[in-house]
Amino acid sequence: MARNFVLTVTGPDRVGIVEEVTGVVLARGGNVDTSRMTRLGGEFAVLMLVSIPEEKAEGLETDFAGLVEKGYRAAVVPARPEPDHGAAGWDPYHIEVDGADHEGIIHEVARHLASHGISVEEMDSESGPAPTSGSPLFSMRALVLVPPGLGDAWAEGLREIGWRLNLEVHVAPLSDSADDEG
- Over pLDDT 90: what percentage of the chain? 81
Q: How many CB atoms lie within 10 A of CB 125?
A: 14
Q: Specify the pLDDT at position 120.
A: 94
* 180: pLDDT strictly greater than 80: no
Q: Specify the pLDDT at position 56.
A: 93
Taking only the tens place, the pLDDT of each residue in 76-129 is: 999 988 765 555 788 999 999 999 999 999 999 999 999 999 999 999 999 999
Helices (H) and strands (E) in the chain, counts: 4, 8
Taking only the tens place, the pLDDT of each residue in 123-165 is: 999 999 988 898 999 999 999 999 998 989 999 999 999 999 9
Which of 78, 35, 76, 75 lies closest to 54, judged by CA?
Answer: 78
Give residue limits of the domains in the chain.
2-78, 85-176
pTM metric for this prediction? 0.79
| Domain 85-176 in the same topology as domain 2-78 | yes
CA dist., res. 83 & res. 57, Å (int)? 23
The CATH architecture annotation of domain 2-78 reads 2-Layer Sandwich (3.30)
CA dist., res. 61 & res. 23, Å (int)? 14
One CATH from 2.60.40.1180, 3.30.70.260, 3.20.20.70, 3.90.1150.10 for 85-176: 3.30.70.260
- What is the maximum span of the chain, computed from C-alpha positions, in angstroms? 57
Q: Where do the H-state alpha helices sit in the chain? A: 17-27, 65-69, 105-115, 153-165
